[in-house]
Structure 1
């Protein structure tokens, strides 16, 4: 992606991890780890592993011509083949004997898959930190705004009163679930790949199992019980968890962007010079962070579809499906990190307008309290009859542009059931928020319990 659009949608550190130059560094780490593991198992000479490690320096690899490598990758079918040729040449310049053992007995997919897993591990650490930051911020805001009454909306219509703290608590709860999924997934997905040409490691003499264990230890990855060249569930599960994160962030961004609409005006993204403006309308304050998060939420499902399609492979190593991961997986990581970074920024700096919240509550002339009236009436009239009476009152209130309480006060069937004080209390939104405070406390309590684990 261009640098311009990367700045809009991605996160810099994760983008760096998946850059071309970083890929070469990860591939180098894999090749060095392979040599050391093979030497420890007696598959190659110890001196060869030392020579490979000493000469595969970051400085030497940095001199590899990316344009030439890219051109040869197109002909070879993957980047590992021309990369190994160049790495072998780098070692040969200083140690001809050691260069004979570079990439000994491995296949291209071994080093590409394992390098990819290393990239993912480093990117996941950043994503997990951002997700934790979003979660902790949502918890703080849930407490800060637990008593701020606002409209709850269903089907885009005003429904019943809630509190802003409850909305933040819901966001915190889903972010906590995302964190739990992210943590549990890593034990399965962050696994080394080493199987040789068809997964049998026949090229490792009789030391294949020992090499796999040593190789995995060198890279601090889980050792596979069995080669997984043709089974892509580890990759797809990892991406799927990130897709869930992005979907949840998109859900949040949809809400705060709607709450920024001029007609609602309850929340605003953080203000800043040059932020959210329009090229033609000086008055605009656009939800630019929400736009980036929602763009990610629109893009990621299609990328996930590509990964799901790629799970259906042929025999021991497949054609086309695995290769599609090289494009889809890094973009999912980058979009997820970018969406998280922007969400954290909004959660931390979100500006709230309590007056607008109160104004929106009152704009329907009390109609939002219709259910409260019905439930107060139902014990004496029955629910269906209460529903009919209050529905009739609502129609009159709308037709005559009157407050629902005033209409009810004129209806003999209803007004005789309540005193004026009782009716006033029924129409106070803060008296009809159910167990919202219990839910907020439960979310905060779960966070405290999690912190002690």
Structure 2
């Protein structure tokens, strides 16, 4: 259910008695809730700040999700990685002509990073002395407005980023190939474990990696001199991805169900 659908309407007059509504206050509150798409409430909530806290928490969590996706794009778009890039001509560097900065992802992250402080301010304003606080709840409205604006901006920037995100599949494959030695080291430790034991096998694999790095040789070349392991078999095995494919398929199926996507 959407967060706004569970938020209660607030209409109670100065002290919550509806005295100024001439007997029509409850009906007016019900009609106002329907007009605004908010939940009805049997009484005003002057001193109950949980609705504001609930909304702040939801916005803070949303900001965290947006920031996570944005920073993934930023990291993958680094020149040294180069697995994705944002479309368009913007994002150039004044000092480095080869750079193409992921402006939308960076902007989404910048907006989202403002959210935790604003959420904290709203949570701090929950305490209310003498039914309605002097100062605490007054700070909620500008803060809530800022929080809505910055999370909304983060969402808009990220939507723009993802709408024209360009993956470089060939570069991804190259990066996977470059990471072959660490994968091979893990396979080596697994292969040696039955004869050496798990701890000794781990140490032997680590030593082989250190030797390869120190000598500047590929790990496969270092392992070629060992008689206790079949390097060709290790290379045929490939990385152990466990049940990752099934889990990815499940996530995509759920996404299709929620969005109605059929392709």
- For residue 205 of structure 2, what is the aligned residue in structure 1? 390
- For residue 120 of structure 2, what is the aligned residue in structure 1? 305
CA distance in 1, matches of 2:99, 2:37: 51
Q: Does 1:424 align with 2:232?
A: no
- For residue 400 of structure 1, what is the aligned residue in structure 2? 215
SS state at 1:312 partner = coil
Report if aligned partners of 2:118, 2:147 keep a CA contact under 8 Å in 1: yes
- For residue 185 of structure 1, what is the aligned residue in structure 2? 3
CA distance in 2, matches of 1:336, 1:188: 19
CA distance in 2, matches of 1:287, 1:218: 41
Q: Cα distance, 1:380 vs. partner?
A: 4.1
Q: Does 1:247 align with 2:58?
A: no
CA distance in 2, matches of 1:364, 1:444: 27
Q: Cα distance, 1:295 vs. partner?
A: 0.9
Q: Cα distance, 1:320 vs. partner?
A: 1.5
CA distance in 2, matches of 1:386, 1:241: 47
Residue correspondences, number = 260
Report if aligned partners of 2:67, 2:109 keep a CA contact under 8 Å in 1: yes
CA distance in 1, matches of 2:207, 2:97: 46
Q: Cα distance, 1:370 vs. partner?
A: 1.4
CA distance in 2, matches of 1:340, 1:369: 40
- For residue 253 of structure 2, what is the aligned residue in structure 1? 445
Q: Cα distance, 1:423 vs. partner?
A: 2.6
Report if aligned partners of 1:243, 1:300 keep a CA contact under 8 Å in 2: yes
> Are the structure 2 counterparts of residues 203 and 348 from structure 1 closer, same or farther at C-alpha, using a change threshold of 3 Å?
closer
- For residue 127 of structure 1, what is the aligned residue in structure 2? none
Q: Does 1:316 align with 2:131?
A: yes
Aligned with residue 369 of structure 1, among 172, 176, 184: 184
Q: Deviations over 1:55-82 (max 9, x none)?
A: xxxxxxxxxxxxxxxxxxxxxxxxxxxx
- For residue 259 of structure 1, what is the aligned residue in structure 2? 76
SS state at 1:358 partner = helix
Q: Deviations over 1:33-74 (max 9, x none)?
A: xxxxxxxxxxxxxxxxxxxxxxxxxxxxxxxxxxxxxxxxxx
CA distance in 1, matches of 2:171, 2:160: 22
Q: Cα distance, 1:297 vs. partner?
A: 2.2
What is the root-mean-square deviation in Å for CA atoms of aligned residues? 2.3
Aligned positions of 1:52-451 closer than 5 A: 183-189=1-7, 191-270=8-87, 272-273=88-89, 275-363=90-178, 366-412=181-227, 414-415=228-229, 418=230, 420-426=231-237, 428=238, 431-450=239-258
TM-score (structure 1 length as normaliser): 0.53
- Structure 2: state its 5+ residue gaps: none
CA distance in 2, matches of 1:285, 1:441: 32
- For residue 134 of structure 1, what is the aligned residue in structure 2? none
CA distance in 2, matches of 1:234, 1:437: 40
- Structure 1: state its 5+ residue gaps: 1-182
Report if aligned partners of 1:365, 1:404 keep a CA contact under 8 Å in 2: no
> Are the structure 2 counterparts of residues 451 and 345 from structure 1 closer, same or farther at C-alpha, using a change threshold of 3 Å?
closer
> Are the structure 2 counterparts of residues 187 and 376 from structure 1 closer, same or farther at C-alpha, using a change threshold of 3 Å?
farther
> Are the structure 2 counterparts of residues 389 and 256 from structure 1 closer, same or farther at C-alpha, using a change threshold of 3 Å?
same
SS state at 1:351 partner = strand
CA distance in 2, matches of 1:444, 1:283: 35
Aligned structure 1 segments of 4 or more residues deviating by more than 6 angstroms: none
SS state at 2:113 partner = helix
CA distance in 2, matches of 1:219, 1:264: 48
> Are the structure 2 counterparts of residues 445 and 402 from structure 1 closer, same or farther at C-alpha, using a change threshold of 3 Å?
same
